[in-house]
Amino acid sequence: MTATETRPGVKVMTMIEAISDALRTEMKNDDRVVVFGEDVGPKGGVFGATAGLHEEFGETRCFDTPLSECGIVGAGVGMAVYGMRPVAEIQFLDFIYPAFDQIVSEAAKMRYRSGGEYTCPMVIRSPYGGGIRGGHYHSQSSEAYFCHTPGLKVVIPSTPADAKGLLISSIRDEDPVMFLEPKKIYRHGKGEVPLGEHTVPLGRARIARAGTDVTLLAYGAMVPVCEAAADAAAEQGRSVEVVDLRTLVPLDEQTIVESVKKTGRCVVVYEAPKTCGYGAELAAILAEKCIEYLEGPVVRVAGFDTPFPYTLEHLYMPDEKRVLAGIDKTFAW
Amino acid sequence: MTDSQPNSTIRRDDALWLLRRMRLIRQTSERIAKLYPTDVMETPVHLCIGQEAVATGLCHHLRDEDKLFLGHRTHGPALAKGLPLEKLMAELYGRSTGCSHGYGGSMHLLDLEHGLPGSSAIVGGSIALGVGAGLAAELGAGHFVGVSYFGDAATNAGVFYESLNFAALRALPVLFVCEDNGFSNVMPKSEHSAHDIVGVASQMMPTASIDGTDVLAVNDAAGRAVSRARGGQGPQFLHCRTKRWMKHQGPERCDLIEVDIERDCPIHKLERFMASSGMVTPRELADLRSAIESEIDAAIEFAERSPRPDPNLMEA
C-alpha cells in the first residue's frame, strides 16, 4: 500500500486503496466474507481493488472466476442465503447485464418472496462511469436500473473515507447491495481514511459543502465536479450547498429536502443519460415534498440520451461549466 | 474432429494472399503498439500479434457478403475480411473518416461493404448475432453465411451454449470460430474452463481443431467448413489453437507465455514454407514488408488530417 500515515489511526489514501483496505478489514473481521470475480485473485483486479488479498487470505477467501457474470452473481446469491458474506466483483458495470436476471429475479426478491425467512447479504462491487476514455462498454452509469428494482440497495461513494466506511457497512448489511465505484476518481486525489474499524451508515447523505443560495445534488464522480462549481460560483457571490447522496437506495430524503427548503433552488447532477436517470426521481421527490419552497424549476445537468460516446466523452460528462450554467438557470426563473 | 495437415499444394497466389494479409495485420499491430504510448489513439486496443493466421486463413474463404461478427480483439479479423487500413486507423484516432465514423473505436469496427456488421466489447456478446445472420440467410435475406468469431473465454458465457444449440437445431448456415489463445486476460484456460471446447462443440456440430499458428492448416480447414455451411450442411465449428503474444490490452508483451518464433510465428512459418518451395525470394519478402510500411504511413497520415466527429450528433 502506498498510503502514508499522517496521524495515529488515519492514513491518506486514494479511493482504490480505501476500497482495498475495507475488503481487507472485513475479511479479517469476518471469516464469512469471500471475495471473487474475474481476475480478482493473483492479479488483484484490473484496477487493483483486491491487490494482495489472494496472497494474504488464500484461495478460499479470494479467488478468480470464469468470465460468466450470470454464474458469478447466481453463485453469490446461493452463498449469501446459506450464511456467507459474498463480495462479488463485476469487472466493469458495463459487463453486468448477463447477470441482470440473477440480480433482479433472485437476489433482489429473496427476502420478500420468502416472507423474510431468507435475506441475501451480498455485495456486488463494480467500477462504473466515464472519465477514463474507456469507450462505450467501459464507461456507463447504469445505476438507475438497480434503483428501480425493489430489494436492492445502491451505494456510491465519492471520497476515500466514505468508500471504506460505506463498503464495510454494505458487507454487513442483510440485503444485497450494489456498490458502484466511480472509477474516474479511483486515484484522483487522496483523503484521510480511518484505519481498522470504520463504518458509514447507509441512507445518510453528506453535506460536502454548506451553502445558502442553491443546492447541488450529486453522487460519485460528480461530487468533486460540483465542489469545483461551488468554488467558481462563490466568486460570483453565490453560496452553493453540495449534497453528496452516498446511497441512492435507501435515499436520505430528509437531508435533501431540508437543504432545498433552505436554498429554494436545486440542480441535480449525474452522468447517466438524462431521461429516467436518478435525477428524475430526485426532481419528483422535491416536487412532492417541497414545491412551495422552490424559487425555480429543479434543473438536471446530466449525460445525454445516447450510448456512451467514445471520442466525445469530454463533451458528454457534466463538467463545472455545465453545472454553473445549470445554476444560472435556477436563478433566471 | 480432425487435425488437418497443411496443404502443401497451395497455389502461389493463395499463399501470397495469406502472407500479405498476415503481414498487414502484424505490421499494423506493431505500429499501433509503437504509437499507442503517445496517446494519439483515444481507445483501448487489444492487439492480436501471433494470432494472425486464424482470421487470415478463415477470411480467405469468406465473401464480402458473408457476415463476420467479432468480439473485442478486432483489428486482425477486420483487416483480414477487407476493412481498408485507412478506415481502421482513422477509427482508432477517433476521426469521422473512420469505419464507424469515429463513434466506435477499436472494439466496434463496422464495414457493411465488407461484411463486418459490428463487433462487441462484451465477451461473448456477438456470438448469437452470427446465428441471427445465419437465420436471416436461411429465411431468405440473401446468400451468405453468418460467422461468430470469439475467444476461448467466451465459451464460459451462457450465450455460447444457447447459440450453438439454436444454430444446430435449425441447421443454420453459421460458422463458429474459436480463436483459442489460452488466456482470459491473465487467467490460463486451465483455470477458467472445466469443459473441453471441442468436446462441447462436437456434441452439436462438425468440429475441427487446428493449429491456429499454421495458416495453411487454418486455410484448409476453413475452406471445408465454409463450403459445408454454405452448402446447406448446417453449422460448423473451427477451434484454432493460437498464442497471444501481447497483454490482453495495450502495447506491451505478455509475460505469461513463451514465444518460440520457429514454432509459434505464423508469418515466419509461412515465409519459410514459401521460400523453401521457391514461391518467393528474400528480395520479394523485403519488398512486401516495406510496401506495407508505406501503406501504414499513408493510413496514419490520412487519420491525422481527418476531422473529429460532430458533437451535435449527441443531441439527436
Domain that holds residue B248: 2-304
Summarize pLDDT for B102-134 with one digit per residue, the tens: 888 899 999 999 999 988 888 998 999 999 999
pLDDT at A4: 61
Q: Is the peptide bond before A250 cis (omega within 30 degrees of 0)?
A: yes
Q: Which of A136, A138, A148, A188 is catalytic?
A: A138
A4-194, CATH topology level:
Rossmann fold (3.40.50)
pLDDT at residue B22 greater than cutoff 70: yes
Instruction: Give B153's contacts in chain A (Cβ within 8 Å).
Output: 66-67
Average pLDDT, integer, range A170-182: 98
In a domain, B290, yes or no: yes
| The three three-digit cell numbers of residue B73, written as one number | 480483439
Q: What percent of chain A has pLDDT over 70?
A: 98
Residue B309 domain flag: no
Q: Is residue B313 part of a domain?
A: no
Please give the Cα distance from A212 to A192 (Å, whole number).
27
pLDDT band at A189 (very low <50, low <70, confident <90, very high): confident
Q: In which band, very low, low, confident or very high, does the pLDDT at A68 lie, cut at 50, 70 and 90?
A: very high
In contact, A298 and A283? CB cutoff 8 Å? yes
User: Smallest Cβ distance to B309: which of A64, A67, A311?
Assistant: A311
Mutate one of A50, A311, A317 to test the B interface: name it (highest B CB count within 10 A): A311
| Residue B251 lies inside a defined structural domain of this protein | yes
Mean pLDDT in residue range B9-18: 96
Distance from CA of B107 to the nearest CA of A (A): 9
> In terms of DSSP bridges, do strands A206-209 and A240-244 run parallel, antiparallel, or are they unpaired?
antiparallel
> Residue B144 contacts by C-beta under 8 Å, 6 or more apart in sequence?
B63, B65, B66, B67, B115, B133, B137, B173
CATH domain A206-331 topology:
Rossmann fold (3.40.50)
Q: What's the confidence (pLDDT) of residue B1? A: 42
Those residues of chain B whose CB sits closer than 8 Å to some CB in chain A are 42-44, 94, 102-108, 120-124, 153-154, 156-159, 184-187, 191-193, 308-309, 311, 314-316
Check whether A321 has a pLDDT greater than 60: yes
Closest Cα in chain B to A274: B315
* Residue A200 and residue A169 in contact, taking contact as beta carbons nearer than 8 Å: yes
A63: nearest CA partner in chain B? B191
Q: What are phi and psi of B52, to 5 degrees?
A: -60, -30
Q: How far apart are CA A173 and CA B101, in angstroms?
A: 46
Q: Which of B4-13, B154-163, B242-251 has the lowest mean pLDDT?
A: B4-13
pLDDT(B5) > 60: no
Contact B44 A134 (CB under 8 A): yes
- Tens digit of each residue's pLDDT (9 = 90 or more) over A259-300: 999 999 999 999 999 999 999 999 999 999 999 999 999 999
Chain A residue numbers touching B105 (CB-CB < 8 A): 135-136, 310-311
Assess if residue B316 is contained within a domain: no
List, in order, residues 6 or more apart from B174 with CB less than 8 Å away. B130, B131, B133, B134, B145, B146, B147, B148, B167, B229, B235, B236
> Looking at chain A, which residues constitute the CATH 3.40.50.970 domain(s)?
4-194
CB A99 within 8 Å of CB B122: no
Residue type, A246: R
- The CATH number that applies at residue B219 is 3.40.50.970
ipTM of this predicted structure = 0.81
- Give the residue-averaged pLDDT of A129-135: 89
Residue A6: the pLDDT is 67
Condensed to tens digits (0 to 9), the pLDDT of residues A206-226 reads: 999 999 999 999 999 999 999
pLDDT value at position A317?
95
Ranges in chain A annotated CATH 3.40.50.920: 206-331
A136 an active-site residue? no
- Number of independent structural domains in chain B: 1
pLDDT above 70: residue A1: no
Residue B7 lies in a domain: yes
